[in-house]
Amino acid sequence: MSKKKREWGTEKERLLSLGQEERRKEYVNYVALDKIPSWRQFVNNTAPEEEEEHPVSLCDKVSLYKGDITILEVDAIVNAGCP
């Protein structure tokens, strides 16, 4: 195994062992997921804390974000490409 791969593996393990707040200290700039409104919040123009109780639907699980996706604090990003 090359030195570069070993260093990458070591750094990956270090980052994975950190808690959320410790990881955030490593970031230069980020947008947390709870700051991005769900589709329902976007359509209703409400903040997350203003939401009333309702059954969970796909509208609550999908969000739209316009901006620099490299600063999002998320596990995955789905980008639908055109054929």
Q: Tens of pLDDT along 15-48? A: 889 998 898 888 888 888 888 888 888 888 766 5
Mean pLDDT of the chain: 80
pLDDT at 48: 56
For the chain, the structural domain boundaries read 3-73
Tell me what the mean pLDDT of segment 41-67 comes to.
75
pLDDT at 56: 75
Cα-Cα end-to-end distance for the chain: 38
pLDDT at 17: 94
pLDDT at 61: 83
